[in-house]
């Protein structure tokens, strides 16, 4: 899209605004919508004839569509979309080919490279505070949010990030296994009641920096859980968002192991995975937004939406498949790999562990 803008309007790359393509702004079977034309109108106003801004947005979008078609005709494979069109908003809508959709899903399996656009091969340490050393729960919350902000910034900073998570990860939690009689501060007692992973998700899930004492982010989900009132954060059920996220990661990896001897098919099944695929597509833009705004809750809520879409997909019917119905993971193993890659990376940036087995 940026190359098309450079060619169509003779612009320098540095002058073209960075506008993330968004799947959640697309309609129907379109894969992504790009709101670049409205941003270009202001930049090109001196070159455009007198008229309404909405007319200008649509005309700029039409120029971009024409230029993208020209790039595809010249052999630029990245521009070879199934369809490109403008709409009444002045957005450019893009429908991917089957191969492009498959490439997207396969790329997402490498979560660090997919979300940040580069490998994590740098040096240094990932920031991680010892929450047990906090006194009040509110102080532990500030530590956890500062850790998430610092880790997200490091992942998207100018230098290559340090290596990310590797190897097997268990469900064990040091704080849950600790003798609670040795936990003296309110923060430490909370960790001993709900575990550090649930605590970090709870602390990063809400928006305000200074929440009210009894504020929640959902049914029985206190912003400041305590040992006496942990709410759903102490449960190993879907009522606990931290458990749901970590369970979905473990399930996705386990599905891959189950799928090794599963059904082999060459049929395109991208119509079945649209809900998950669109959320995968938006991942890099969401992480960039969370970094720019320094709001870790944006990443938490995105991971929850991806988990919900994955749960809906994996529980869906495969009755249209001949013979004994295989699991969806067996039919489309690239999708669990993609979900696992993005969840693993997102949880890591929040300082939360991602168990690798159910």
Q: What one-character-per-residue DSSP string does 257-291 give?
A: HHHTTS----S--TTTSHHHHHHHHHHHHHHHHHH
List CB contacts of 157: < 8 A, sequence separation 6 or more: none
CA-to-CA distance for 326 and 198, rounded, in angstroms?
33
Tell me the C-alpha to C-alpha distance, in Å, between residue 75 and each of 3, 64, 80, 328: 14, 17, 8, 35
At residue 338, the 3 state secondary structure works out as helix
Q: Tell me, what's the pLDDT at 29?
A: 85
Q: Tell me, what's the pLDDT at 285?
A: 97
Q: Tell me, what's the pLDDT at 318?
A: 60
Q: Tell me, what's the pLDDT at 28?
A: 83
Residue that is written with structure tokens 């809906």 in the block: 312
> What are the average pLDDT values for consecutive 10-residue runs of the chain, which has 358 residues?
94 93 90 95 86 90 96 93 95 95 95 96 96 95 98 96 94 86 88 96 96 93 96 97 98 84 60 91 97 98 98 76 60 90 98 96
How many other C-beta atoms are found inside a 10 Å radius of the C-beta of residue 351?
Answer: 26
Q: Tell me, what's the pLDDT at 293?
A: 97
Q: Which two tokens stand for residue 215?
A: 């504020």
Q: Check residue 32 and report its DSSP letter.
A: E
- Do residues 83 and 255 lie in contact, with contact meaning Cβ atoms separated by under 8 Å? no
Compute the chain's Rg from CA coordinates. Answer: 23
Q: Tell me, what's the pLDDT at 52?
A: 87
List CB contacts of 326: < 8 A, sequence separation 6 or more: 262, 263, 318
Q: What is the pLDDT of residues 203-224, one digit of tens each?
A: 999 999 999 888 999 999 999 9
Q: Tell me, what's the pLDDT at 272?
A: 82
Q: Which domains does the chain have, with CATH numbers?
A: 2-96 (3.30.1360.70), 98-358 (1.10.730.10)
pTM of the predicted structure, to 2 decimals: 0.92
């Amino acid at each position: 899209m940026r190359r098309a803008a450079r060619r169509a309007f003779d612009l320098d790359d540095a002058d073209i605004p960075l506008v993330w393509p968004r799947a959640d702004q697309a309609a129907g079977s379109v894969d992504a919508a790009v709101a670049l034309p409205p941003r270009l109108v202001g930049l090109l106003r001196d070159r455009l004839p007198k008229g309404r801004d909405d007319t200008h947005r649509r005309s700029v979008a039409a120029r971009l569509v024409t230029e993208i078609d020209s790039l595809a005709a010249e052999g630029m494979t990245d521009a070879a979309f199934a369809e490109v069109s403008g709409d009444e908003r002045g957005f450019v809508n893009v429908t991917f080919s089957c191969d492009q959709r498959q490439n997207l899903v396969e790329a997402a399996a490498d979560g660090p490279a997919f979300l940040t656009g580069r490998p994590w091969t740098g040096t240094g340490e990932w920031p991680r505070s010892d929450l047990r050393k906090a006194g009040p729960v509110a102080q532990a919350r500030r530590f956890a949010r500062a850790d998430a902000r610092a880790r997200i910034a490091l992942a998207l900073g100018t230098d290559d990030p340090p290596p990310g998570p590797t190897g097997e990860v268990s469900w064990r939690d040091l704080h849950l296994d600790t003798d609670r009689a040795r936990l003296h501060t309110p923060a430490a007692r909370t960790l001993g009641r709900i575990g550090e992973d649930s605590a970090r998700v709870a602390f990063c899930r809400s928006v305000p920096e200074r929440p009210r004492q009894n504020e929640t982010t959902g049914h029985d989900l206190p912003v400041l859980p305590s040992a006496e009132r942990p709410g759903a954060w102490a449960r190993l059920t879907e009522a606990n968002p931290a458990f749901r996220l970590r369970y979905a990661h473990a399930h996705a990896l386990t599905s891959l192991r189950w799928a090794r001897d599963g059904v082999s098919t060459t049929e395109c099944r991208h119509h079945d995975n649209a809900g998950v695929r669109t959320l995968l597509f938006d991942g890099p833009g969401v992480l960039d937004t969370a970094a720019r705004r320094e709001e870790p809750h944006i990443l938490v809520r995105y991971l929850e939406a991806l988990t919900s879409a994955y749960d809906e997909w994996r529980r869906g019917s495969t009755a249209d498949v001949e013979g004994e119905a295989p699991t969806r993971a067996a039919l489309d193993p690239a999708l669990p790999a993609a979900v696992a890659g993005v969840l693993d990376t997102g949880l890591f940036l929040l300082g939360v562990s991602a168990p690798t087995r159910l």
